[in-house]
């Protein structure tokens, strides 16, 4: 089972249907059960029993999660692979000691691969949908795998199966989520 963390400011917000449910659908199409839980209710036990965890994105002005990084303390000890999408990547950066910087991108952008990784597959460059007001300065424990003209687009923890993508793969790059699911199954 893959745990899908809803990072929207409140449970059942309108953004849930836009940012969370498409990820759940991609996972389910891959043949793996998915369980959606709002981030405020995720426990260490929930994380420990999941075969993988996906931290979903949020609406452009929804940054409540960033004011509560302690809510995500379970991530640092989580044995499961983790994929953070947009806001989820921002959470990963904060949890592991990185920081957020203002960087607004909206719309399609070219993402250039800097370092190969199974999450990206054979791609060297691709178009991706962006919707964010902040990017990350990755912590020292992460490597940058891809970027755009504006910001870091893909990071991976140097020791653990933990990735962050700044773009929204549910819009045009479903293969990123499919590759994540394939790696953990």
Q: Are 108 and 128 in contact (CB under 8 A)?
A: yes
pLDDT band at 137 (very low <50, low <70, confident <90, very high): very high
pLDDT at res. 68: 86
pLDDT over 90 at 37, yes or no: yes
pLDDT band at 23 (very low <50, low <70, confident <90, very high): very high
Q: What is the CATH number of the domain that holds 168?
A: 3.40.50.880
Furthest C-alpha separation in the chain: 39
Taking Cα atoms as reference points, which of 47, 38, 42, 39 lies closest to residue 79? Answer: 47
Q: Provide mean pLDDT across the span 3-20.
A: 91
Please give the residue range of the domain that contains residue 122.
2-184
pLDDT, residue 33, reads 95
Six-digit token string for 73: 């303390």
pLDDT tens string 139-164:
999 999 999 999 999 999 999 999 99
Q: pLDDT of 49-106, one tens digit each?
A: 999 999 999 998 888 888 888 899 999 988 899 999 999 999 999 999 999 999 999 9
Number of folded domains in the chain?
1
Hey, which residues are catalytic here?
86, 168, 170
**What pLDDT is stored for residue 11 in this prediction?**
85
pLDDT tens digits, one per residue of 170-182? 999 999 999 999 9
């Amino acid at each position: 089972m893959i745990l899908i963390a809803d990072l929207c400011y409140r449970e059942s917000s309108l953004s849930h249907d836009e940012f969370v449910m498409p990820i759940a659908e991609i996972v389910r199409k891959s043949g793996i059960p998915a369980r959606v839980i709002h981030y405020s209710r995720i426990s260490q036990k929930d994380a420990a029993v999941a075969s993988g965890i996906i931290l979903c994105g949020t609406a452009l002005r929804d940054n409540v999660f960033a004011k509560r990084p302690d809510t995500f303390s379970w991530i640092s000890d989580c044995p499961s692979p983790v994929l953070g999408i947009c806001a989820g990547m921002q959470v990963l950066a904060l949890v592991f000691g990185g920081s957020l910087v203002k960087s607004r991108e909206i719309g399609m952008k070219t993402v250039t691969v800097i370092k190969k990784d199974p999450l990206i597959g054979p791609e060297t460059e691709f178009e991706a949908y962006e919707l964010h007001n902040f990017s990350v300065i990755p912590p020292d424990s992460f490597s940058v795998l891809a970027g755009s003209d504006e910001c870091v687009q893909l990071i991976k923890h140097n020791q653990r199966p933990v990735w962050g993508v700044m773009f929204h793969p549910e819009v045009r790059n479903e293969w990123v989520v499919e590759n994540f699911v394939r790696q953990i199954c």
